[in-house]
Structure formats: C-alpha cells, structure tokens
Structure 1
C-alpha cells in the first residue's frame, strides 16, 4: 500500500447516525423537518429527506475525509451546473449559518454533514436489461460530464481514494490479503496482474483531469421516453470526484454495465462510442480502456468482501455483491486483446487487417485445383430441406465432396447454418474462425513459417513470430525437436492413404489463447483480428464473402418503391425458413410468430416437390384445360357451406375482396357498401375503399368514396359497447346506418367484414352480431361478404371458417394468404347466380389465378392441412399459448387483454386498464426486443398496440412456450 491513510480508509464503516439523530441535525442546522429514508452508500451514509419544501438528500461523511475533499465535491457540483451541455446535477444547500459543510458530533463521534437538492429520476441498477439507447445515453452522459469537468481544478482533487484506478493494483493487493475465498482471490489476482501489465506502458500517455469516477448505473437518474425506456440525463453522488485518468471515468461506467449485459461484454460498446463522440479518446486511452474495466471489476469484488467484513449490516453493499461478482465474471470471460479490437472497431480506430505472410504452404502435396469447397451457409446448395440441423451433416458433406474431388474444405469466415440452434434467446456462434478439411490419410503437413511445435489440449500448436497455428487431427512428426524451419514436415494426417480423415486449421495471433471455433456475428469482426484466415498458408481461396445486409437494404431502397415497407428499422436479411422458423444470412434462427402467409410452414418438402414437378410439366393460364384447376375448384367448393359451389381463382386477398365487391354490385344492381371502421381488406381501388384502418392508411377516414358507409367497429374490448350485452348497441349502429341509406333512397349492394376482427388482433365479434346484420342486409337484397383472408382456412383451430364461430353462412367467401403458403393465390367462393351476374360486365380472367402451378400449390396445401392435422394443432397449441399469455396478463398491468382463438391471437398493451390508453411506443419497443431474443413479431391495430400472433399452423408447443417465455422476459426485464 502506498499510503497508510488509503489503507485505513478501505477499512471504514459507514457513519453511525440514526434517522432520529439525522432529523435532529436537520432541524438544528437547516431548519427542516420531514420523513427520512436511507439511501445506499459504501462508506458514507445518505438519507432522502421529504419536507414540505421538497425532497433533499442529507449526506454524512466521516471525519477521516478531509474537509477540502468535501469542498471539492461541492465546487464540482457548482462548476458542472454552469457548463453548457452538461448533465443535470444536484444543487448544494447552505445551512442556516451559511456554511455548506456542517461539522457536528453524534454520540461523541464527529461527522461532516451536507444537504443537496434531490435529483428526481430512476436509477438503472435494478433494471436487468438496458436497451442500446439506454447504454448509449449513459456513455453520452459520462462523456458530457468529463467535458464539463475538463477545466475544473481544486486542491481537494488530490486524494487518496481506493476507487482511483491509478492505484488499482496496490488497492487490490491490500484488499485481497483479507479475502477468505482462496479461489476467487487467485482469479482476481491473476486478472489484476494481466490488466495492469497492459496499462503500465500506457500510463504516461493517459490524460489527467478532474473526473467524477463514479458515473454508474446506480449514480445516474433517468427519464422514461415514450416507449418506457430509461434515458439517463442526470448524475448524482460526486463523492469520488478526484484528479484521475479521463479514460478511467469511462472504465467505471462500462464496468457498471456488465451486469446488465447478459454475459456479453460487447454490450458496452454503444456507451464507448457515445462517450468517444463527445469526449474523444486517444489511441493509448482506447487500448487502456478494457484493462481498466477489468481492474475496476477486481477492485469492486475485493472491496465488497472487505466492506462486509467491517460493516456486515450494510444492506447496500450486500445487495450489490451479486451483480458486482457478475461484473467481474463477465470482465474476465474474454481475452484482453479481443476487447481492445472490439473497442477500436466501435470508434472506427482499428488498423487495417493484414493477412499473415504466405511463407510456405501447409499442405504442399495437395493440388489446390482438386479441393472441393463445401458451402454450409444459409444459401448453401449442400443443405437441402432440414439437413442443416443433423449432427453429422458437416462431416458427411465434407466426405462426399472429398470423394468427388480428392479433398474437401469448408470456408473460413462463413456463417454456418449447421451451427445455428432453434429457440435460442441469444445469437449463436456461427461464424467459422477455422477451416475443416477432409483429406486422405498420410497427407503430409509442413511448417508454413519457422517456429516451435508443442501439444496442448488434444491439438498441435505451431508457434512462430506473432502467429500461432492450431492443428486438430494431425499427428506430430517429432515433438522432441526444438524448432522447425519453414517448409519442414511437422506432422501427418493419420490413417490409411485410401481412407479419409479430418483436419482443422486455425490461426491465432495471441499466445496461450485457446480460440473458439466459432464466433457470434456481432463479435466476428474482433475475433477475425485474433484468428485471421488460414487461406494464405493453405494456398487456395477458402474465404467466404461476408453478407452485407445493410448494403442490400440500401440497394432495395434505391429502386423498390418507398410505400412498400419492410419490417424493422434494421432488419435481418432472411433468406431461408423451416417450419415455424426463419434463418438470416448470419445463421441466426428466428421464431416466426407473425407470418400467416405461410400456413403449413416454411420450406415444406412436400410442397416444394409438388411445385417443382408441376413447373417441370406445365404452367400457363387458366383458360387452358387441365386437371389441377378442376380438382382445386372442387376441393374449395366442398369446404364451403352448401350452396356456395362456385369458385373464382385470383392472385391475392386484395383481388379476392375487390372481385367480391364487384360481384355484389353486379348481383344487386346497387353500389352502396357497408363496412366496419378499423378494418383492412386490401390495396386495390375497391378493397381499399372499404378499408378504414388508419394504421394502414392515415387518411382512411377522410378519403372514402361516397358509396362506402362505415359503421362503428364491434370491438368489445375498447369500442363504445363492451361486454356480453354489447351486441344490441353494435347492431343498432348498423340499423341506423341502413335506415339513413333507406331514407336517402340509396340501394344497398352489400356488407363486408371479417368474421373475427383480425386487424384488432383477433377479437371475436359480439355473439349474434353477424346473424342480425346479415338479416338486415339481405332484407335490402344486399350481399354478405365474409373476408376470411386472415382468419379462415383452419387458423382459428376450433373452426375452419371464421363465420362458423358466428353461426352464419355468407353469400361470398374471400380467402387468400395461407391457402398458397406464400405463393400468390386467392379465391372467391359464392353461389352460382351471384357469379353469373358478373357476365353482364364481360368475362373474368386472372393470368396466374388458377394456373397449373397455383392450383397444385392450393391442392397440396389442403392435403398437408389434412394429413398433418394442422387445424387440430392450431386448436391445441393455440389454446395452450392463449392460457400462457393470459397468465402474463395476471403479472403485468401493461397486458390489457388477450384476444382471439387458435393460432390467431392478439395481445393488447395499454398504459391504463381503465382508460385503455394504448401503449403504442411500448409495443414497438417490445417487438424490437423480441427480435433481439430471436422472435419475429409486429404490432397491429389502429393504435399499433396489439401483438398480432399468427404463426404457421405447424407451430410446436415448445415454440409457443418459447414465445411466451420470451415475452414474459421482456415484460419483466424491460425493453
């Protein structure tokens, strides 16, 4: 220990001042009275004081802290308050005597008292998850405070403080001497030695100034934005202010974030980037940052152990112990080199990668032209159907390619689909940091550069100058040799020359590091710097081209019309699917809970085979005579109620609804249509006209043509009439609209609605509603259209058609989306006389509607629905999922209601269950957080506050549970 004062300070307990004694001090020296609540502190004692004049904080320090140090804290607060762009800080309140620091004795012990204004807001400590925006805002606050303190000076800044990272080594050594946990003591000592070894040569180049030294999740106050995310904007507790390294300020901030990181240290990078943007760091400071974070973690854990020994009743310290241990565990979980590269990349200060020198070839006997390269990416042609998830896939594909070409290799830098995992909340490690080869036995392995050979952990390591070659599946030539020249034979692939064996090649720039075989996508850039491509020493190009999802999105936006939106601001590039799962080009699997287009699941081999066969035979328009269109029309008619025996085939739901409206016009001879407010029916002129959802068209309510007559939405959750007796009110609304139309002499063409209110999240219509409305419409010779595009075709589980839930039979059924499983296919099913009425306007024709391929698609989907019992699955899994979601409503007030049935469900989020204020921004943020956890979900409804849950009907129960678990996690941890 450099200073006995510092040693004594590490052993100080908090001031022993009770609430009653603190109240007496307040009354005597400040003329205040109120309720006191203790706030946490390591070695001070702090009370929140609620008075009639507002809240304050009474801070009590021991006499061992020099008065000049406390004066420096007050001066720093005043200084920061005058600086533009500085974060909010508390104000110092003077005592009745005019003093800012009151020295008073309590039970013969002298303490120093100060009063500050209370800075309102929420700390971040107890938030398990912090959004990227929150992390970045914390870094920004720390950076702005560092800038504000840059020109501040005071004699009290020269302090002996255990938190000063300039003294981290000696402090840790002193604290560790009293630690009883031997294993933990050893881990801390090793980590501290490694960290300080990195910092030592950088010390002369680390800038000194006044720093706060404690801008942590516990010492900031935050405001909630509209989505409920916490955004730090104020800093409290200047108790550790001193003259120290600028970069130490950021190190303390970043260390505090590690227990919110879910075990991933890369989660600090938005804070680093934000701090650097307002307070730029030098190269030396960037290199010192991660070692100082590790040092801070070491001191935290050691100090907590020490403090609990001298002050075992300190609930604040005890409460922080678990997350400080987590901070340490995360800090030491990755190599120092890795985080140095990651930090450099985050602030765009990383040097360009230079490939290792070619030297000699590792496998000189191998002809590079005779090596088959196996593609294991999401788009790899070697991974048909579900082959990607078999354990032996990689080995079998390598063997097959080697038999054909003589030898085979995988690709370095490839995101392997074979390494993905389903239903995982974190991104899997799919980025290959190595190359696997399949070679004949006795293939010679030569030194690509001069170096030494040794064996460790079941592999050979050949170490040269700054580069280490890790070899698996290689038998050493002679481990007794001291060194090998470049080109010397160092090993051989074991086995018979006629047999095939496997070998793995990996380079590493860091000695003593056991590099992983794969990296997660967000860590791949930093790992590439530690594990460069072995392509130069192999002598052939085995590097995969990196996907560029952002560049592809930019190209899309240049030429793809702007009204054609995409999900998410920064969407993953999805290129593959399987059942209820989607895969991006980085090998991440997402659970698809929103895709009602893909009814029977993604990548269905039976559907793929049927479509491929039909394409190989014929595809043309439906005016030709062929079997498939006849069979498909028959099947659709058989699914409809008796009398609805005539089928039109089209390309989409919009066209189906457009055609249904035209049929209503032709059959009735009238034009006027009744539709529901908040509904969506499509994008064509007619289907858009009867759509009034402002979520899909903000101008919908003011731009309807005069032949459209919307009536109030029969939304039994947030409409004007609610509960079991709401039917009468909603039916009366339709009756009044029809009466008004009658009075004006207007003839009625028809009424269109979804039989289950899909756009609002699957809300059932009031009991008896359609029966009453259909009767009134038919009294006026109108046509009743059931839009089943979203809710029909078995999705409801309990019913094949949505109108069955209401016990009615429409005159026209429209259907699309799932009936083609993503293929453009829609249908209108009606009575013969209604269909024939269209001939007055000429014949109807759809080029692709009912084509041979479209008809085969439709037939095969129906076969799969039946053979795989998908409607029954929708009922069983949907019922289970709804109960899980309703259970979340019991725990979280944000869940206003759970709507729907089968696999058409809606979770509606509200800020208040009485007023039903929609939680629009929260819903968007929840969807973004769910994407981070591996789930595709989007908001719906006029207020965009409903999760519309409509996955493929093959959804497994375990997938439903994963979705419910992850939604519960988001609601509990935050977004």
Structure 2
C-alpha cells in the first residue's frame, strides 16, 4: 500500500451497520441471536453480542482493508493463544470461514466474529497504581517476546500508526489543526522527535508487533482484594512488522493519560518490560522520540477524524485525553526523559570527562573550603528555622569564606507542607560563599551567553556552565578561550553544570526526578577543585532488610515500602529526601514533632539528673500534683509508669487488690495493651486475630456498644447493650465469683472514636460497684484533651470512674504513662507489697510531662482540638453526605474516624478500599492507617497543633481519591 492510500484510508469514517442489519447478519452467517451493544472504535465498527450462553464481538471494517491483513491478525491470535497469552479466539462462520466479505446497502465490508473477553479497560480510571503500570509494561514485553517468532504475509502493510511513517503523516494531518498555537507546538515537537530518531532508525530491530497494547485494549478484572488482574489483550487491528520498540512506545504514550501530569510515572512499565524482553541501547534512546511522535499522531488523527465524522462519540470522548497525553509528554525536556528511561532500564547514561579543564576559581587552589550541611539531618536546622525564606543563603553567609553547599543534597529548606506534589529538594548545583572580588576563569573554551544581571551560561563544545553572582561578566555572545577571565564574584556564587546544550536546568529537582537530573547536571567538583558532593543517602530497602533481619517482625511497620523518616516538625514527618508528610495518625506526639520546649526540658534535666522514683527529687511531686489538678475531685493518688500497657496492667492489679476478686468485664473490639494481663482483656481481632479464642476464664467480654455497626444501633441503644452486661454479672453472681471490675474506653477508640450510647457507662458503673468491683476508664488513646469537647472521655458519659489510665500524648513521645485513683484503692495494692517502675516517674519523664501540660495550656491546644476538631468533623460529614463509600464520620476533636462501607444498609466493610485509600494518601503526602476489627475505618488522631489548612488538605485529598474511584 502506498503512502497516498494510507492517507486516504486515515480519512475514512467508520462503517455504518444498523442493529437490524447486524442481527440479520449474525443469524444468516453464524446462527446466533441475542442483544447487541456498541463498542467504541475510531475507524471500525465493533458490536458486542450477548447470546445468553456466550459473548462475542462482531467486527466490521471497510472492504478496502486487505484480506491478507485480517488473516494475519487471526493467525497471530492463534499463535499467541498457543503460547498461553490471553487473547480472544476467532468464531468461525456457519460455512467454516474466519472472515466474511459482504455488501451491506452498497458498503463493501469485511466482517468477523471474535470471542469476547470479560473485563474492563482502564481508560477512564483516573489513577493507575504503580503495579498496574508495571503489569502493562510486562504484558507488552510478553506479547513482543512471543511475536518475535511470528511471521505472515499480512504483516507487510502500510499503516497510519506505524511510527516509520509518522513524519509524513504528521505533515499531512497538521492542516486539520485550526488552533495556530497548537499547530506550532505539535509541529515543533514532531520536528525535534524526528531529528532524534533519524540517526537511530536504521539500527532499530524489526519484528511483528501488536502496536496497540493500551489501557483501551487490555481488559482487567478486580479481585477480592481490589487488585487489578489482566484478563486479556484485544484489538489486533494495528498488527504489523515494524520497529520492536514501537510497541512499548504505544503503551507508554497511553499510560501518559494516567500520569497525572508527570511523565516519569510511566517508568515502572519500562523497567518491567526490560526485565522480560530487554531492549538494546539504541531502542531505549529511540523510545521517547517515538512516544512524542505517537502523541502528535494521536491528536492530529482525532482532530481530522472528528472533522469528517462529527457524530463519532468515541473520537469526541477521546480527544481530551489524547491532548492530555500530548501535553504530559511535552511537560519535561526530552533529554531528561531519555536519561530517566536509560536509568529505568538499568543502562548507563551519558557522561563527560573534565580532566583537561582549567580551575574555575584559581585563587581557591589549596584553600580549605567549609562544607555546609543543609540536608534533612543538618545540625543547623532546629525549631523550624529552615522554613524561613533565605535560610540556606543566610547560613552560608554566616560561615567563613570560602564555604560551599553540597551538590546532590536534599535540602530541608525546600520542603513544603499541605501540598500533594513532591517538593523540589535535590540541589543540582552548589552555592558558594567566597571572598568578595574572587576572580573566575573559563574552564574550557566557549561562548558566554548572558541571561540576566550577573548571571549566564558558558557554552562549551561538550557542556554548559551556569553561573549566578558575577561582577564584570563578559559581554553576551563573547567567545572565550580556556583560562580567559569570566569576571569576579560579589561574594555569593551559584555554579551548575549541564550536559545538554539546549537545556536550562532548574537548580532543584524533585526526588523522583533527581537521578535523571543529576545525570544531566553532574557535580562541578572537577571545575572547582574541591569536594562539594553530598554523601549518598542510605538505601532505604537495605535499611529495611537490616530491620527485618534483627528487629522481631511481630513489631510491624506502616506500609509495605515505608518512607525513610528521620525528622519531624509540628504535625509533619519528613523523609530523607525532604518530603514533608502530613501526620494524621500520630496521637503520641500531642504537641507536634520536634517541639523546642521538649528539646530544652529533656536536655536540661538529662544534664542534671535522671534516675528512678525511689530517690527524692522535686519533679515527681510537682508532676503528680499537676495530674491531680486535671483529675476529678476525690482522686488523690498517682502511679507513674512507662506506657499505656503498663498503666492498664497496673489498673488490673489495683482492681484485683481492692475488690479481692479476679473476674473482669471488658468490651469486645477493644485494645488495652500487650502484656499478659492487658492482652487478656483486649478483644480486637485487628490487633490479635485469635483474641476471641484465647481469653482466660477471668475475662468476660461484653457486647461492643457500637452504635453504628453493632448488634443494636442508634443513640438510644444503651439499654439493649446493658442486657449483656447484666447477663455476664448475673452469671458471675450465680457462680459465687467476686467481680474485680470493668475496663472500658469511654469513647470507642479502635472503632474510630465512636461515642458510647448515652447512659451506658452510668448504669454499667452502678452495677459493677454494687458488686464491689471498680470502674477503670482507659483514657490512653482518647483522653487528655484530644476529644476537644471534653478533657476526659468519661465526661461525655457524665460519670466518674474509680481508676483512670493514660499514656501516649502525656509525654509527647517520651515513654510516660500514669494511673490516677483514690487513696483507698492505691493502698490496697500497698498491702500486697510495694510497686516500682524503673523509668516510670523519672526526673526526665516528669519534667517532660509537666512541660506537655504547660504547652498544651499556653499554646491553646485544647481549644484548638475543640474548634478545629468541630470544623474537621463537619468536613468529614460532608464526605459522608456526598460519597456512598464514606459510611459515617465518628468522634470529635482530634480523635475522629471515617468508616468506609460498600453498602449503607448491610454495612459491608470496605476493607480493601480503605487500605487502597491509605496507600494513595501516602502518595499525596499524608500518613493514615485503618482501624477497627474490619480495618475499614480511617483512624484520624493527629498532633493537636493541626491547623485548618492541614484539615482542608487532608479532606480534599480523601475526596480526590474517592472521586477517582476505589
């Protein structure tokens, strides 16, 4: 077929075939009947037939399509099926033919019937998980690997999508683009891509390829864990012999629609392809120009096709996302993508030797240069000072000259908060504090190009040197010899190399792009004459392997591939590459991370004394008094311990000692700790899957008074739940067993902060006390002001317990827990012997505990929990009102829960969706984890310094993900 025929074919509208005609055709030639549904296509007609027992796709194309081309497609389907690849089978006509040549109302058509593969394409899915991107690349590799051994005469065809014809086709189709700005953009991109391909084309291997393995032409099924699984590859209409790498270029171009504006998100597809069917270096270098040309052909073809077939809804629907593909492909320099592709494929990128260069700053020869650490762990960074504008430059200026920042270092000052995109933190150059007037010389011959006052670029034959901070710089366009004067510095100079002549690089790169940018912008060490390179970061995977090899694995970590976190500030956690994550789950750091008061208090007390509570020092008395001030009247004794587990364990011992009994009531679906005693009373199967089968006989769980999904629902369900309490107590009475007490969270923590039904604790406490038992309020998670509306959770129920346990936030991360009770209960334990906790009540812990109370008061954190918490709850409720998956918003203040359900009537928990949501939130820079026995509740318990801006960022992100579809 000639190119003119190709161009003519590319202008044909899709065939016309009415429903009645299609039914008649199916009856006459296939003896089939059923319901028909139109499927999209650009130039062919596709109809799905549901016959009741099987489903097929009726495909009709213009009669001008060569029969041998369609026969090649059928042969390829059989060939791939024989190799175990998931492709459709051909259904033979009644006369045994695979392909029919028909005339329908004067239209010459070629018609065939294929098996329909159940599943759905991912075209309209807004966000593709990384594993899906990789799987699409791997699938492309497996098909190419198989087709390498396939041949057929019908493969020798001229097709508009063949990238070998892209240059000519683009020239032909460009007039269809009326928008002059778009016209110029497409023309420029295509010209540059063709220029890159021209020297590579003759070296590219050729074979049979599918040429359309895209989100449209691969169908998937979602399993019970909500993971996408490939079901099959369809639509072999573009099958031909062409460059092997063309197949991957088509897949990559399609993935750009899901890249959310970042073309580097497609790299996992390239890595996966390369692992199965390795491409040559020449193919990898041709890949991105092919993607650019594919993007240009897509938009131009659709624009022209819509002009001649304005009723084609398939094309109309596709144009927007094809322009999205084009715009995303053009959003980064082609040189950057080439470097990233080579790295993703495990190949070396281009490099340059600088051995013959003259020193840029000859006066620094032999001088010691101070290296200034501006990284995430820099000792210069404290109390959030890095958030101040100009922090890096001020710190450099404070060092004695000469001083240098570090190339390739991820700078803490460049982080940002409450934004989903990565911050550009990786320095691609260095900044220098130099003696004023220090002279510069050209390291190599080149041309000086001025880009602004005191800044410009020395363009040499092999690289560009970007400088900022010059005095007496050469004139624009001046040609310089090696060693010729480049001017002098005004004391502050930035230096950056770039290996690509036509590229002005940014000074900072995002972590995901840093490796590719650093390949283009190598260290200027050789030109400066001193070491200015940052030490490489620890490999997070190797570090995780070390953890798994030595740290008992029952101590789990968040996320399968957790970020490497070494710093925190306020309600943010910061990874080693300088990305700040909004912390929405860390109820231990109640004041926020890195609080300067905590730093000062702990440092001062450590410098004085840290010992155990059997010694006599003021802090223990002062802290105990402060705790009694926030306790209800009548509480007059404090025990200090290290954790919530220890606090609850001690509370059990107190109940045993005071009551003389051993039997305890606990509430189902609750967690109280990990010690033998507290694990015994914990019944959360999310924390311990065997919790309900391993309770000792002294523990008597009662029904969880969960007003949302419990056996009885609604705020008036207290009496219903109390019947179970009464039954358990009656059983103990009948057996003559002395009750020790009841332990209960006054607000249901593991269920996401659900309030107990009004009156529940009042009546339960009364019945327990009638039997000589004590009432324990586990306030470890929900108390100490976090609820906003109340300081203690039991205040919501209008009751006062006998024992209060607490931990977590009261130490802001310092191991600190407490039990507050009355004298007679405390002394009951004393009669059995003394109690001692080695670190509980240490001077350091006490001073920190006092400081926490002071800061919470002085910074208004309890008020903040109330006011911002109300706003937070309202925003979560708005999600419930809008999205069916958001079943309910629980809690108050900064202890909230968003429960996800698949059905609001049955309350089927959306466990897998919740985990996907949490993983997706991490992608957007937010830490969140599920809770509840079904792990279907977002457990929202951030530091109490959280702002409205952070609340908006969190809720907006959740809404974004719900809108993407889970």
Shorter chain as normaliser: what TM range? over 0.9
Gapped regions of structure 2 (runs ≥ 5): none
1:865 corresponding residue in structure 2: 856
1:559 corresponding residue in structure 2: 550
Alpha carbons 1:2, 1:170 under 8 Å: kept: no
Cα distance in structure 2, aligned partners of 1:428 and 1:587: 8
Q: Residue 407 of structure 2: which of 408, 412, 415 is its match? A: 412
Q: Is the partner of 1:540 in helix, strand or coil?
A: coil
Cα distance in structure 2, aligned partners of 1:352 and 1:304: 37
Alpha carbons 1:141, 1:233 under 8 Å: kept: no
Write the mapping of 1:425-440 to structure 2, written as runs, cut at 5 A: 425-440=420-435
Q: Is the partner of 2:376 in helix, strand or coil?
A: coil
Cα distance in structure 2, aligned partners of 1:789 and 1:480: 68
Q: Residue 734 of structure 2: which of 739, 743, 750 is its match? A: 743
Q: Is the partner of 1:705 in helix, strand or coil?
A: coil
Q: Residue 445 of structure 2: which of 443, 446, 450 is its match? A: 450
- In the alignment, is residue 29 of structure 1 matched against residue 29 of structure 2? yes
1:228 Cα shift? 2.3
Alpha carbons 1:650, 1:846 under 8 Å: kept: yes
Residue-pair matches, total: 964
Alpha-carbon deviations, 1:363-401, whole Å to 9, x = none?
Answer: 111266443322221111122211111112122112111
Alpha carbons 2:118, 2:231 under 8 Å: kept: no
- In the alignment, is residue 45 of structure 1 matched against residue 41 of structure 2? no
Q: Is the partner of 2:495 in helix, strand or coil?
A: strand
Q: Is the partner of 2:780 in helix, strand or coil?
A: coil
Alpha-carbon deviations, 1:547-597, whole Å to 9, x = none?
Answer: 222222222223222222211111111122221111111010100000000
Write the mapping of 1:567-582 to structure 2, written as runs, cut at 5 A: 567-582=558-573
Cα distance in structure 2, aligned partners of 1:951 and 1:463: 51
Alpha carbons 1:664, 1:750 under 8 Å: kept: yes
Alpha-carbon deviations, 1:696-733, whole Å to 9, x = none?
Answer: 22222222222222222222222222223422222111
1:71 Cα shift? 1.9
1:845 Cα shift? 1.9
Change (3 A) 1:481 1:811: closer
1:642 Cα shift? 1.1
1:497 corresponding residue in structure 2: none
Alpha carbons 2:176, 2:300 under 8 Å: kept: no
1:484 Cα shift? 3.2
Q: Is the partner of 2:229 in helix, strand or coil?
A: strand
1:788 Cα shift? 0.1
- In the alignment, is residue 127 of structure 1 matched against residue 125 of structure 2? yes
Write the mapping of 1:107-506 to structure 2, written as runs, cut at 5 A: 107-350=105-348, 356-357=354-355, 359-366=357-364, 369-401=367-399, 405-456=400-451, 459-475=455-471, 477-479=473-475, 483-494=479-490, 501-506=491-496
Q: Is the partner of 2:199 in helix, strand or coil?
A: helix
Q: Is the partner of 1:145 in helix, strand or coil?
A: helix
324-333 or 69-78, which moves further after superposition? Answer: 69-78
Alpha carbons 1:355, 1:532 under 8 Å: kept: no
Cα distance in structure 1, aligned partners of 2:440 and 2:804: 70
Write the mapping of 1:415-814 to structure 2, written as runs, cut at 5 A: 415-456=410-451, 459-475=455-471, 477-479=473-475, 483-494=479-490, 501-548=491-538, 549-814=540-805
1:600 Cα shift? 1.4
Alpha-carbon deviations, 1:414-462, whole Å to 9, x = none?
Answer: 1011111101112111100010112233210112233332223563211
Q: What TM-score results when the alignment is normalised by the length of structure 1?
A: 0.96
1:534 Cα shift? 0.8
Change (3 A) 1:457 1:21: farther
Alpha carbons 1:460, 1:476 under 8 Å: kept: no
Alpha carbons 2:350, 2:519 under 8 Å: kept: no
Q: Is the partner of 2:132 in helix, strand or coil?
A: helix
Alpha carbons 2:642, 2:840 under 8 Å: kept: yes
Cα distance in structure 2, aligned partners of 1:688 and 1:39: 57
Q: Is the partner of 2:363 in helix, strand or coil?
A: coil
1:277 Cα shift? 2.1
1:354 Cα shift? 6.5
Change (3 A) 1:586 1:29: same
1:480 Cα shift? 7.2
Alpha carbons 1:674, 1:751 under 8 Å: kept: yes
Cα distance in structure 1, aligned partners of 2:213 and 2:842: 66
1:336 Cα shift? 2.3
Q: Is the partner of 1:429 in helix, strand or coil?
A: coil
1:929 corresponding residue in structure 2: 920
1:974 Cα shift? 4.1
Cα distance in structure 2, aligned partners of 1:287 and 1:177: 30
Cα distance in structure 2, aligned partners of 1:517 and 1:768: 62
Alpha carbons 1:94, 1:115 under 8 Å: kept: yes
Change (3 A) 1:480 1:750: closer
Q: Is the partner of 1:908 in helix, strand or coil?
A: strand
Alpha-carbon deviations, 1:78-115, whole Å to 9, x = none?
Answer: 2222212x1x2222222233322222223322222222
2:96 corresponding residue in structure 1: 98
Cα distance in structure 1, aligned partners of 2:939 and 2:82: 50
- In the alignment, is residue 954 of structure 1 matched against residue 948 of structure 2? no
Alpha carbons 2:443, 2:482 under 8 Å: kept: yes
Cα distance in structure 1, aligned partners of 2:614 and 2:354: 64
1:120 Cα shift? 1.2
Cα distance in structure 2, aligned partners of 1:622 and 1:780: 35
Q: Is the partner of 2:425 in helix, strand or coil?
A: strand
Q: Is the partner of 1:201 in helix, strand or coil?
A: coil
478-487 or 897-906, which moves further after superposition? Answer: 478-487
Alpha carbons 1:212, 1:242 under 8 Å: kept: yes
- In the alignment, is residue 850 of structure 1 matched against residue 841 of structure 2? yes
Q: Is the partner of 1:505 in helix, strand or coil?
A: strand
Cα distance in structure 2, aligned partners of 1:681 and 1:298: 61
Q: Is the partner of 1:61 in helix, strand or coil?
A: strand
1:662 Cα shift? 0.8
Gapped regions of structure 1 (runs ≥ 5): 495-500
Q: Is the partner of 2:111 in helix, strand or coil?
A: strand
1:624 Cα shift? 2.7
161-170 or 912-921, which moves further after superposition? Answer: 912-921
Alpha carbons 2:352, 2:462 under 8 Å: kept: no
Alpha carbons 1:93, 1:117 under 8 Å: kept: yes
Cα distance in structure 2, aligned partners of 1:351 and 1:160: 35
Cα distance in structure 2, aligned partners of 1:767 and 1:478: 81
Cα distance in structure 1, aligned partners of 2:366 and 2:884: 64
1:498 corresponding residue in structure 2: none
Alpha-carbon deviations, 1:604-632, whole Å to 9, x = none?
Answer: 22332233333333322223333222221
Alpha-carbon deviations, 1:757-794, whole Å to 9, x = none?
Answer: 10121111122111111111111111110000000001
Q: Is the partner of 2:364 in helix, strand or coil?
A: coil
Q: What TM-score results when the alignment is normalised by the length of structure 2?
A: 0.97
